[in-house]
């Protein structure tokens, strides 16, 4: 409480000082962002400029000759961004995606699903922020997608997309986007429908020894088929009351229906059937003014019932489980930004989020029956300031005080951020960033519920005592000629939570559970360089090297303190055949890595895509592609630490696809803000 009083006093003093000097000029105030010097790094085909703490990339130029047709694939073209376990990372760390400076409110899975439905033509550019100031209202690394706005004239524009993919089975995607604009209104609508099947298989090997000396050894082959029906709907309405004076409403919905079967054979047989349905609806209202004030509120409804039926010869038992999760979540914010003159800026604000999670599970063997209702509250206050010292040096700092309350946790936390940018001479940028963050587990992972896999041998259990992690990040970035980027970084995460397997020494079963580590430390270097050969061959090379230390002194009876050097190298190459045909080759390889007691062997992939754009302004595009051509990109997991023996090899197969895109009305589409359900059940 003392921290809150001190922070409130600082806010009051800052506001009083500002009011005395600027009492009659409030209507002329503009966002702090616009008051900072906008320094363009010059060079051959510049792609990045520096504005305060943000590195703004010309993303349309980055993807111009690449076969990407949605926002998700476009983001992966940013330096330092890669995809790991179907999640986006920046410099090997998690990253938050924002739209027009607004935080997302979706799970990663839902966010990426929606990004994949959004055309690339809706992107103006992208900001990369290694240490987000508090005015962003999120913490940690941020990628902020900025939109194209088409008000001021009457137009009706749109895009139609159809896609086919074959990954052992067939899947299809259809998408339609429309945008209507006039002097006052922007109305955009999006609908996409995904449907089809997917097949993949696992090879599992287990050796299990109990404390009484009894040993078991068995292996299985698991065939998995999933059928899915996915609907994505969005309606966005912007009304411009005056210049830089806007009222916005957005409705986003996702409806998913998945049925799956998993059949194990080998040393035992089993059959697992899963039926999972989920729906979420998000309503958001935002208001922004020309004098730096903005406010907003949103409501999210999420409901996910599912059924699991398992019959296994391993225990000669049938498991019949029904579970459900419903979440109601409210969020509201107020924020203000001021230009104080003499290159000083001030910003401050408040955020409040409250949620109610109602979850239940019924199990025929009564091992994990239960109903839970959990309320959660988060409130934060922040103040930040920026200063430009001539044309070469800028600095931005902020301080956020956050209150977090659940039935288990009741905490106050202070989060400072600092970003310093120095331009020693034309074409050179040096940026230092410091960030403190806190990451929270998903709602479902802290429930005392159980589901099963591997014929009942594997138990996926919740952990009600799981704690949020505390993160510290430092980075030093150097940019040369707006094209070559080097970033040195350090990340420390205390109480980091990861899901690990553990073979019990008392009975023949294996638990998968999220547990808190003592820490995860990383020191790394990222290098990226574009290399062009003539006008027909464009390349980008990216290298990331990381030293990682994972420590957990209380992991059952297997405490660990493990370290590993690993690296990842990526090559993106584009061959131009005239004005209408592009051939793209993307390759990536990573060395052995670790996650706690798990070893992740080296792997890599090669992707190829051929794109034909016969019409002016790229109104028509036909793309054929093949991902993971040699089927070498699948991840395998090995756990042979101190008597444990779990080998899991996953085989998803190459992907062959064909897509067609047609735009009309000079379509320059508008990017969308996502909805944060990052802690909802996956």
Per-residue pLDDT, 75:
85
Per-residue pLDDT, 676:
61
Using one digit for the tens of pLDDT, what is the confidence trace for 580-618?
A: 999 999 999 999 999 999 999 999 999 999 999 898 777
Q: How many residues does the chain have?
A: 682
The band of 681, judged by pLDDT with boundaries at 50, 70 and 90, is low
173-196 average pLDDT score: 91
Q: What percent of the chain has pLDDT above 90?
A: 61
Does 280 score more than 50 pLDDT?
yes
**Is the separation of the CB atoms in 96 and 89 below 8 Å?**
no
109-128 average pLDDT score: 76
CB atoms within 10 A of CB 487: 23
Burial category of 551 from C-beta neighbours within 10 Å (exposed 0-12, middle 13-18, buried 19 and up): middle
Q: Name residue, tokens 């992966």.
A: 76
Using one digit for the tens of pLDDT, what is the confidence trace for 641-654?
A: 999 999 999 999 99
CA–CA separation, 520 and 630 (whole Å) = 33
Q: How far is CA 69 from the centre of its chain?
A: 18
Domain ranges for the chain, please list them: 2-664
Does 519 score more than 90 pLDDT?
yes
144-159 average pLDDT score: 76
359-369 average pLDDT score: 79
248-252 average pLDDT score: 92
Does 20 score more than 70 pLDDT?
no
H/E run at residue 312:
strand 293-312
What dihedral do alpha carbons 553, 558, 564, 570 form, nearest 10°?
-110
Structure tokens at 6: 């001190």
Lowest mean pLDDT among 16-20, 495-499, 619-623: 16-20
Does 402 score more than 90 pLDDT?
yes
444-470 average pLDDT score: 92
**Is the separation of the CB atoms in 423 and 429 below 8 Å?**
yes
CA–CA separation, 105 and 86 (whole Å) = 18
**Is the separation of the CB atoms in 487 and 526 below 8 Å?**
yes
Cβ neighbours of residue 466 under 8 Å, at least 6 residues apart?
441, 445, 446, 497, 514, 515, 516
Say which CATH class 2-664 falls into. Answer: mainly beta
Per-residue pLDDT, 257:
97
Lowest mean pLDDT among 143-147, 171-175, 238-242: 143-147
Per-residue pLDDT, 99:
76
264-283 average pLDDT score: 94
The band of 102, judged by pLDDT with boundaries at 50, 70 and 90, is confident
Per-residue pLDDT, 373:
92
**Is the separation of the CB atoms in 243 and 291 below 8 Å?**
no
Does 14 score more than 50 pLDDT?
no
Compute the mean pLDDT over every residue in the chain, rounded to the nearest whole number. Answer: 86
CA–CA separation, 1 and 12 (whole Å) = 17
Per-residue pLDDT, 461:
93
Does 176 score more than 60 pLDDT?
yes
168-189 average pLDDT score: 91
273-292 average pLDDT score: 94
Does 509 score more than 80 pLDDT?
yes
Using one digit for the tens of pLDDT, what is the confidence trace for 537-593?
A: 989 899 999 999 999 999 999 999 999 999 999 999 999 998 899 999 999 999 999
Does 375 score more than 90 pLDDT?
yes
The band of 675, judged by pLDDT with boundaries at 50, 70 and 90, is low
The band of 664, judged by pLDDT with boundaries at 50, 70 and 90, is confident
Does 4 score more than 50 pLDDT?
no
Does 122 score more than 90 pLDDT?
no
b/e map 424-438, b = 16+ CB within 10 Å: eeebebebbbbbbbb
Does 189 score more than 50 pLDDT?
yes
306-322 average pLDDT score: 91
Vertex 20 angle, CA 19 and 21, to 5°:
90
Smallest Cα–Cα separation from 4: which of 382, 353, 337?
382
Per-residue pLDDT, 154:
80
Q: What percent of the chain has pLDDT above 70?
A: 87
Does 9 score more than 60 pLDDT?
no
Could you report how far apart the first and last alpha carbons of the chain are, in Å? 35
CB atoms within 10 A of CB 520: 22
């Amino acid at each position: 409480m003392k921290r809150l009083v001190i922070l409130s006093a600082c806010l009051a003093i800052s506001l009083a000082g500002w009011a005395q000097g600027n009492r009659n000029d409030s209507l002329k105030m503009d966002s702090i962002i616009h008051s900072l010097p906008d320094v363009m790094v010059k060079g051959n085909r510049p792609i990045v400029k520096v504005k305060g703490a943000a590195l703004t990339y010309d993303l349309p130029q980055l993807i111009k000759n690449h076969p990407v047709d949605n926002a998700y694939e476009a983001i992966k073209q940013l330096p330092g961004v890669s995809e790991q376990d179907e999640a986006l990372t920046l410099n090997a760390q998690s990253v938050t995606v924002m739209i027009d400076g607004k935080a997302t409110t979706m799970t990663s899975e839902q966010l990426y699903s929606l990004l994949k439905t959004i055309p690339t033509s809706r992107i103006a550019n992208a900001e990369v922020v290694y240490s987000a100031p508090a005015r962003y209202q999120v913490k940690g690394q941020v990628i902020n997608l900025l939109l194209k706005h088409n008000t001021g004239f009457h137009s009706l524009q749109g895009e139609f997309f159809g896609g086919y993919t074959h990954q052992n089975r067939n899947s299809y995607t259809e998408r339609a986007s429309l945008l209507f604009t006039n002097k006052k209104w922007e109305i955009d609508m999006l609908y996409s429908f995904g449907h089809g099947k997917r097949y993949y298989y696992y090879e599992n090997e287990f050796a299990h020894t109990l404390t009484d000396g009894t040993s078991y050894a068995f292996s299985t082959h698991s065939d998995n088929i999933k059928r899915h029906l996915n609907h994505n709907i969005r309606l966005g309405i912007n009304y411009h009351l005056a210049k830089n004076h806007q009222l916005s409403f957005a409705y986003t919905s996702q409806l998913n229906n998945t049925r799956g079967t998993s059949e194990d054979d080998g040393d035992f047989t089993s059959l697992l059937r899963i039926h999972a349905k989920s729906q979420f609806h998000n309503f958001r209202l935002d208001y922004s003014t020309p004098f730096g004030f903005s406010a907003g509120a949103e409501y999210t409804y999420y409901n996910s019932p599912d059924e699991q039926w398992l019959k296994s010869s391993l225990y000669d038992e049938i498991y019949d489980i029904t579970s459900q999760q419903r979440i109601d979540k409210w969020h509201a914010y107020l924020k203000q930004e001021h230009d104080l003159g003499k290159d000083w800026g001030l910003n401050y604000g408040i955020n409040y989020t409250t949620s109610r999670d109602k979850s239940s599970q019924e199990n025929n063997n009564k091992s994990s029956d239960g109903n839970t209702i959990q309320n959660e509250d988060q409130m934060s206050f922040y103040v930040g300031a920026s200063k430009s010292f001539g044309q070469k040096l800028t600095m931005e700092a902020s301080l956020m005080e956050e209150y977090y309350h659940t039935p288990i946790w009741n905490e106050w936390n202070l989060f400072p951020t600092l970003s310093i940018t120095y331009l020693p001479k034309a074409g050179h940028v040096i940026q230092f960033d410091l960030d403190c963050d806190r990451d929270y587990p998903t709602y479902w992972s802290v429930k005392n519920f159980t589901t099963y896999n591997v014929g009942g041998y594997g138990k996926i259990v919740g952990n009600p005592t799981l704690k949020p992690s505390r993160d510290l990040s430092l980075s030093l970035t150097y940019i040369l000629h707006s094209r070559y980027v080097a970033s040195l970084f350090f990340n420390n995460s205390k109480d980091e939570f990861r899901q690990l397997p553990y073979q019990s020494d008392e009975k023949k079963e294996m638990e998968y559970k999220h547990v808190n580590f003592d820490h995860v430390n990383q020191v790394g270097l990222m290098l990226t360089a574009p290399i062009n050969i003539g006008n027909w061959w464009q390349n980008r090379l990216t290298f990331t090297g990381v030293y990682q230390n994972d420590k957990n002194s209380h992991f059952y009876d297997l405490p660990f303190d493990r370290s590993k050097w690993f690296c990842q190298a990526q090559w993106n190459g584009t061959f131009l055949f005239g004005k209408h045909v592009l051939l793209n080759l993307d390759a990536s390889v990573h060395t052995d890595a670790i996650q706690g007691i798990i070893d992740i062997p080296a792997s890599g992939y090669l992707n190829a895509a051929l794109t034909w754009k016969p019409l002016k302004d790229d109104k028509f595009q036909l793309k054929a592609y093949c991902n993971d051509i040699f089927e070498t990109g699948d991840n395998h997991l090995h756990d042979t630490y101190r008597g444990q023996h779990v080998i899991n090899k996953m085989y998803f197969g190459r992907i062959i696809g064909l897509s067609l895109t047609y735009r009309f009305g000079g379509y320059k589409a508008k990017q969308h803000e996502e909805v944060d359900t990052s802690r909802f059940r996956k």
